[in-house]
Chains A and B, each alone.
Chain A
Amino acid sequence: MKKIIFLLTMLCLVVSNSYSSPDATTKIRKDYHPRPSTWVPKDHIKALKLAQKKYEFVKDVFKEDIILRQMRFRHLGIGIKDIKSTYMVLQSPFVNTYEDIYGPVRFMHGAHAKTLNENCVICHHYSPKDSPNKILPCRACHQDAFNPEHAGRIGLKAAYHQRCIGCHKQRQKGPIGCTGCHLKNVPDHKKLVKLPKDPTPTQVTQECLRCHKNAGQEMLTSAHWLWRGPSPYTVNHLKCTKHGKGTDVLNND
């Protein structure tokens, strides 16, 4: 019996040694589901290319009543089947007029068309004067803001925001805040973070709190700090209730 216990402990030691890295300070994390090196998001690259495409500025537009326009398009059979790209990246120099706080919106064109009952004219409200059956993207008519030659026509950025937020508010569906649609362009933290060579955990936390002042207080009210229940998504600890931060992971009781 003693031999078995000894053997088991030895085995455990060997196994644990094989897992621990030679240098204790460097951590190695293994990706269990690595992305194949050849994989590229094809639709995203296509969408980025489409965003580069330039449209000639439409000077005069064909104005008509929005409901008559919708009926006309129904008669013509123009609808969701004519959508060439269901996914778009709303990226344009006309949008980045001042700042670069946010990344471009990834717009589900097809999904929006479907939820709007295939009614294209809600967004595509006008057409060029000489070809009233043509449906062009927003940036064909809406380009630079404050163009004195076309006073009253809003720029592309405003056209997007007014249409999106207006519709989301009206239907009480979809985000109306900035980060609901945009990803934030996070500045390079390598330049911002200033730490000594071998920082202590407290130093690191204090450095974070230097800029993210409210994050510390917010953390104390979040589940990350207060959780005392089970950990259903933690592998091998599904039913364990001890791993919440409220119990034994941090001595914050």
Chain B
Amino acid sequence: MKHISRREFLTSIGVAGTSMFLPKDSQAWKSRAPENPFACLVDVTRCIGCRKCELACNEANNLPEPEKDFEDKTVFEEKRRPSDKAFTVVNRFFSNKKQDKEGNLLPTYVKIQCMHCQDPACASACITGALSKQPNGAVYYDVKKCIGCRYCMVACPFEIPAYEYFNPITPRVRKCTFCFERISKKGGKPACASVCPTEAITFGRRKDLLQIAKNRIKQDPGRYIDHIYGEKEVGGTCWLYISDQPMEELGFPSVPKRPIPKLTETIQSTLFTYLWSPIVLFGVLSGIMAINKHKEEGNEK
């Protein structure tokens, strides 16, 4: 039998490994995004910071009463994140670019909640399938399947899911539900969108909303910057934003344009096609064992 050197052996494994990573049509990652789901378009320039969306969300989801009343504007003094007690929060931002005639800074209010990604990283990371992308667009959380591993919280690029740490027996992951029950009914709208007094939140089908957003930007180019946040971010989200400032300056993370699960799922699936990686692993191990045994026998002689 021809003797294989260590270097040759490792090179062959490397070649075999990389060839597995190369895209093949049969194994290429496919988006499971619904084609035209429900979506919401947030027009940041329309928001007046009345916090009625927070109030409606609180009522619709039976959340506990907040420490500060919903009419209390002092909450804007610090930046807030969605939590297990509030699925959506409005933050206030000031920018030097927005001033009135006397030079007073004008506020920009931004509502944040789960973005309901088209290819959600949280659902991909979820090992029990408790989080799933529904055909109507909602990233749905099934508490019965959840084991509380909190991988979703690590995976989410927008850092949205929150956890009921105070509840030791039956904790849940909490995040915006897209008012799943409400929008499942015919003509149903999310609570925040239907309460909003200025229609800063427009509810509809994603393709229609993208068209509306493009029209608004086209008709009033001085008012908006030409970017729909969520159109391509992380492969597309169901919550879209148009604004007069870059969204990165309004507390949003800069995220890649590709779907987050694309890379992770490709690595994962290629690692286990035809069970090649375990075979290689055990092959290497048995090789090492054989070499060691050979050495030992040589030493004994």
Binds B, one of A26-34, A78-86, A119-127, A148-156: A148-156
Contact, CB under 8 Å: A161 / B195: no
Contact, CB under 8 Å: A145 / B199: yes
Instruction: Please encode chain A, from 152 to 171, with 1 for each CB lying within 8 Å of some chain B CB and 0 for all others.
Output: 10110110011001000000
Contact, CB under 8 Å: B212 / A98: no
**For A99, what are the chain B residues with a Cβ–Cβ distance below 8 Å?**
52, 55-56, 195
Q: In angstroms, how far is the closest chain A Cβ from the Cβ of B297?
A: 79
Q: In angstroms, how far is the closest chain A Cβ from the Cβ of B99?
A: 13
**For B216, what are the chain A residues with a Cβ–Cβ distance below 8 Å?**
152
Q: A204 at interface (Cβ–Cβ under 8 A)?
A: no
- CA of A40 to CA of B211, assembled, Å: 50
User: Which among A146, A151, A157, A176 has the greatest number of chain B C-beta atoms within 10 A?
Assistant: A146
Q: Which one of B55, B199, B202, B203 lies within 8 Å of A157 (CB-CB)?
A: B199
Supposing A151-B208, A161-B198 touch, asked if A146 and B48 sit within 8 A by C-beta, the answer is: no
Q: How many residues of A contact B (CB 8 A)?
A: 18
- CA of A146 to CA of B50, assembled, Å: 20
Binds A, one of B23-31, B186-194, B272-280: B186-194
Contact, CB under 8 Å: A162 / B204: no
Supposing A151-B208, A152-B212 touch, asked if A157 and B56 sit within 8 A by C-beta, the answer is: no
Q: Which one of B50, B55, B212 lies within 8 Å of A151 (CB-CB)?
A: B212
**For A161, what are the chain B residues with a Cβ–Cβ distance below 8 Å?**
48, 197-198
Contact, CB under 8 Å: A155 / B48: no
Q: A136 at interface (Cβ–Cβ under 8 A)?
A: no
Instruction: Please encode chain B, from 189 to 230, with 1 for each CB lying within 8 Å of some chain A CB and 0 for all others.
Output: 101011111110011110010011001100000000000000
- CA of A203 to CA of B199, assembled, Å: 44
Contact, CB under 8 Å: A151 / B194: no
Q: How many residues of B contact A (CB 8 A)?
A: 26
Closest to B65 in A: A211
Q: B46 at interface (Cβ–Cβ under 8 A)?
A: yes
Contact, CB under 8 Å: A162 / B203: no
Contact, CB under 8 Å: A146 / B202: yes
**For A154, what are the chain B residues with a Cβ–Cβ distance below 8 Å?**
199
User: Which among A148, A151, A165, A178 has the greatest number of chain B C-beta atoms within 10 A?
Assistant: A151
Contact, CB under 8 Å: A158 / B204: no
Additional A-B contact list (4), CB under 8 Å, known A152-B212, A157-B199: A98-B195, A99-B56, A158-B199, A161-B198
Show the binding face of B for A, using Cβ within 8 Å. 46, 48, 50, 52, 55-56, 69, 71, 189, 191, 193-199, 202-205, 208, 211-212, 215-216
A-B CB contact pairs (8 Å), 18 listed:
A99-B52, A99-B195, A145-B194, A145-B199, A146-B189, A146-B204, A148-B205, A151-B204, A151-B212, A152-B212, A152-B216, A157-B197, A158-B197, A161-B198, A165-B48, A176-B48, A178-B50, A214-B69
